[in-house]
Amino acid sequence: MSEGIDAIVPVGHKPIVSRDAVASGLLHLSESSSGAIIDGLVAKGDVLEASTIAAIQAVKETPRIIPHCHVIPIEGCNVSWSWEGTSLRCTVAVSAHWKTGVEMEALAGVTSGLLCAWDMVKSMEKDEDGQYPNTRIDSIEVIEKVKGG
């Protein structure tokens, strides 16, 4: 580490205020995979239930997977799912009262939730060569970040 550079930005001097963030992303799937999720026919179980748990775990574990993130006392986390054609959208809202924001936690939640969903249907998404020509995760973004009060 270079002299004078902190591994974690000091926030001790900052006031504790409410922090909220909402992030979202899309998992593009085949018709057969999206249908299997909707109809509850995925061999590994309930995709949305398992992926919600994965998203919540990721929110809580963000400082362990992103080295420069502070440990934040998370007060709330909401995970929601919606369909856009055959694409599955995950939206994660996180809240806390702390000295730094929770957008990385929301992004980690979205990413992990979508990865879990992909993992659960990957056998249906592979082509004859074992590749994923049409499956992809994209549009991961922070929709809203609020600091105040």
Active site residues: 119
Distance of CA 75 to the CA centre of its chain: 17
Q: Could you give phi then psi for residue 4, rounded to 5 degrees? A: 85, 0
Kindly report the backbone phi and psi dihedral angles of residue 24, in degrees, each rounded to the nearest multiple of 5, phi listed first: -150, 160
* Distinct helix (H) and strand (E) counts, the chain: 3, 4
Q: Which residue shows structure tokens 């909401």?
A: 78
Measured distance between the N- and C-terminal CA atoms of the chain, rounded to whole angstroms: 36
